[in-house]
């Protein structure tokens, strides 16, 4: 049975206390965490992991390593590790302790759990990220080795992802357990003794319950303003205007310094969109600098590149596209391509493009700016929902590790319907190369292939925001936009 779905059977007294805690706020009564989404998200197994379910899974089914509130990799099931000098072997020593069923935490059981977790990602973009793992070996006692076909300096960040949580018989080893009460997940830190670890004196006085729920953004912000929740997580640009109702309390609105993909992906390549030059016309027309002006977010940097400039040493020195052209000149060139295509049609009709965006006032603002730019080149835009037929759709995703490979894998044929097999082949080829400089050059060529194909229109970095009560514990902004629950459950000594 899936670890997220399984409901821990608390003693009645503990469950009732947790339910009563849901009525209040503050340290003594626990903390209320609201994730923007659908109320069923924490418990929904039919779709890919939602942000709320990711948090719940990470809290109940940890991996070899985990993230702390600042986004740093910390020990979890493994209490220490070493990396060989060539970067091709990671050796982990597991902590003393047991799985939730009381069986010993061994290298053999952890290896099988990790293999299952990796197999579950086959055919996905995350599966491509993990392709460099060649072998997982159980060594003496509680030692496990991961051997790589190529260096993966971001392996620890991958192993800390919720999808790589380790479970035996469908159940993880904590560090928290939960009970579902209607649309509420009540999480309690598991006493160390229950995991075969040394007891911690006065454990009950050092921890508190977490009350996790998911709900639409407007209701989440309303609950925060009414003092009914301590934190609101998973805010995106689609709902950012709602934060204007929060007030001017210092530190209340927190924005994570994330990197990732934020822009429009083509999901149709027929008619006007059949040629890369015409798809480029759409990219030329959009005034990226003006997109975020209505939101008033300071420090946001637009880009025309798929892999953000300055990401790391593999990024190279590629320049921004059309850097020597004004937006007026770019739109004039784009308009000329639209007119040329229409002239070649026997019975030309006005060009219309359907753009798929999430619901929310921020998405509406974003569409207004995009529609105005497309109108300037003779194209009418129509806003449609996420599940509707469309010509372009918004991609708004935070990078899980700071390498070009993450960006290229998210635009691969494993992740997108309209894609570049040539770019995919180059990314795969780079994985066979031992020389880091040559590998980086091949990845840059893959980015150029994707850029020339004009399959994705980058805008800049995603926007991720949270609402945080002034006395919140265990929360910090970080580059992953990841806010684990266990640090929020630990009270200061």
Give the 3-state DSSP-derived string for 295-357, with helices as H, strands as E and coil as C: HCCCCCCECCCCCCCCCCHHHCCCCCCCCCCCHHHHHHHHHHHHHHHHHCCCCCCCEEEEEEC
The answer to whether 73 and 67 are in contact (CB under 8 A) is: yes
Measured CA to CA, the distance from residue 491 to residue 476 in angstroms comes to: 15
Over residues 71-115, the pLDDT tens digits come to 999 999 999 999 999 999 999 999 999 998 889 999 999 999 999
Over residues 270-301, the pLDDT tens digits come to 999 999 999 999 999 999 999 999 998 988 99
Residue 166's nearest CA partner among 203, 120, 234, 225 is: 120
Q: What is the pLDDT of residue 470?
A: 81
Q: What is the pLDDT of residue 3?
A: 41
Work out the pLDDT band at 5, boundaries 50, 70, 90: very low
pTM for the model stands at: 0.91
Residue 333: is it exposed, middle or buried by C-beta count within 10 angstroms (0-12/13-18/19+)?
A: middle
**Any idea where the domains of the chain sit in the sequence?**
1-61+174-234+483-493, 62-165, 260-458
Domain 62-165: CATH architecture, name and number where available: Alpha-Beta Complex (3.90)
Q: What is the pLDDT of residue 174?
A: 87
Which of 4-8, 14-18, 147-151, 194-198 reaches the highest mean pLDDT?
147-151
Q: What is the pLDDT of residue 310?
A: 74
Q: Does domain 260-458 have CATH number 3.40.50.970?
A: no
What is the arithmetic mean of pLDDT over 43-65? 92
Please give the helix or strand (H or E) that residue 65 lies within, else none.
Answer: strand 65-67
Cα separation values, 374 from 263, 305, 383, Å? 15, 20, 13
Q: What is the pLDDT of residue 437?
A: 87
Does residue 364 surpass a pLDDT of 50?
A: yes
**What mean pLDDT value characterizes the chain?**
90
> 3-state class of 466 per DSSP?
strand
Q: What is the pLDDT of residue 283?
A: 98
Does residue 52 surpass a pLDDT of 90?
A: yes
Q: For Cα atoms 26, 31, 37, give the angle at the middle one, nearest 5 degrees.
A: 135
Token output for 220? 């989440």
Q: What is the pLDDT of residue 12?
A: 38
Over residues 384-437, the pLDDT tens digits come to 999 899 999 999 999 999 899 999 999 999 999 999 999 999 999 998 887 888
- The residue that leads in pLDDT, 4 or 213, is 213
Q: For Cα atoms 282, 298, 411, give the angle at the middle one, nearest 5 degrees.
A: 40
Q: What is the pLDDT of residue 251?
A: 60
Q: For Cα atoms 425, 426, 430, give the angle at the middle one, nearest 5 degrees.
A: 120
Measured CA to CA, the distance from residue 97 to residue 192 in angstroms comes to: 9
Does residue 236 surpass a pLDDT of 50?
A: yes
Measured CA to CA, the distance from residue 313 to residue 307 in angstroms comes to: 12
Cα 358 off chain centre by:
16
Q: What is the pLDDT of residue 4?
A: 40
Cα 436 off chain centre by:
27
The answer to whether 212 and 427 are in contact (CB under 8 A) is: no
Upstream peptide bond of 97 is cis (omega within 30 degrees of 0): no
Measured CA to CA, the distance from residue 149 to residue 159 in angstroms comes to: 16
Over residues 141-155, the pLDDT tens digits come to 899 999 999 999 999
Q: What is the pLDDT of residue 354?
A: 98
List, in sequence order, every residue forming a beta bridge with 76; answer none if it has no partner.
Answer: none
Residue 241 has, within 13 A of its CA and on its CB side, a CA count of 13
Over residues 64-78, the pLDDT tens digits come to 999 999 999 999 999
Over residues 306-348, the pLDDT tens digits come to 998 777 555 555 689 999 999 999 999 999 999 999 998 888 8
Measured CA to CA, the distance from residue 203 to residue 190 in angstroms comes to: 10
Cα-atom radius of gyration of the chain, to the nearest Å? Answer: 24
Q: Residue 156 contacts by C-beta under 8 Å, 6 or more apart in sequence?
A: 65, 73, 90
Pairing of strands 231-235, 31-36: parallel
């Amino acid at each position: 049975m899936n670890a997220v779905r399984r409901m821990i059977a608390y003693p009645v007294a503990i469950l009732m206390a947790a339910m009563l805690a849901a009525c209040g706020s503050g340290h003594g009564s626990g903390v209320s965490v609201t994730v923007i989404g659908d109320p069923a998200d924490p418990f929904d197994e039919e779709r890919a992991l939602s942000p709320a379910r990711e948090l719940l899974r990470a809290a109940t089914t940890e991996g070899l390593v985990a993230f702390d509130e600042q986004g740093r990799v910390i020990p979890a099931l493994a209490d220490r590790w070493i990396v060989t000098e060539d970067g091709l072997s990671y050796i982990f020593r597991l902590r003393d302790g047991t799985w939730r069923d009381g069986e010993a935490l061994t290298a053999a059981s952890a290896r099988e759990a990790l293999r299952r977790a990796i197999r579950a990602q086959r055919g996905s973009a995350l599966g491509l990220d993990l392709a460099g793992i060649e072998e997982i070996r159980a060594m003496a006692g509680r030692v496990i080795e991961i051997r790589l076909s190529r260096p993966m300096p971001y392996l620890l960040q991958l192993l800390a992802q919720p999808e790589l949580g380790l479970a035996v018989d469908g159940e993880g080893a904590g560090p928290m357990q939960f009970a579902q009460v209607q649309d509420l997940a009540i999480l309690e830190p598991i006493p160390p003794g229950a995991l075969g670890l040394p007891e911690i004196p006065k454990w009950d006085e050092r921890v508190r319950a977490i009350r996790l729920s998911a709900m639409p953004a407007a209701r989440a912000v309303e609950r925060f303003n009414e003092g009914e929740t301590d934190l609101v997580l998973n805010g995106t640009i689609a709902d950012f205007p709602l934060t204007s109702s929060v007030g001017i309390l210092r530190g209340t609105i927190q924005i994570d310094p994330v990197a990732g993909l934020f822009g429009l992906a083509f999901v149709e390549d027929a008619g006007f969109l059949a040629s890369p030059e015409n798809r480029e016309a759409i990219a030329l027309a959009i005034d990226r600098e003006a997109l975020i002006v209505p939101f008033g977010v300071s420090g946001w940097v637009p880009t025309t590149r798929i892999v953000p400039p300055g990401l790391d040493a593999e990024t190279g020195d590629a320049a921004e596209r059309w850097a020597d052209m004004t937006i007026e000149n770019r739109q004039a060139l784009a308009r000329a391509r639209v007119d040329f295509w229409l002239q070649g049609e026997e019975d030309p009709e006005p060009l219309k493009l359907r753009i798929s965006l999430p619901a929310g006032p921020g998405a509406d603002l974003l569409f207004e700016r995009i529609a105005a730019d497309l109108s300037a080149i003779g194209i009418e835009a129509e806003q449609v929902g996420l599940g509707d037929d469309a010509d372009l759709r918004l991609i708004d995703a935070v990078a899980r590790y700071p390498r070009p490979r993450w960006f290229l894998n998210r635009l691969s044929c494993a992740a997108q319907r309209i894609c570049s097999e040539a770019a995919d082949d180059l990314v795969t080829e780079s994985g066979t190369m031992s020389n880091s400089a040559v590998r980086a050059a091949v990845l840059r060529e893959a980015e150029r292939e994707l850029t020339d194909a004009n399959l994705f229109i980058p805008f800049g970095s995603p926007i991720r925001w949270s609402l945080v009560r002034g006395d919140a514990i265990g929360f910090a902004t970080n580059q992953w936009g990841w806010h684990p629950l266990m640090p929020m459950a630990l009270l200061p000594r």
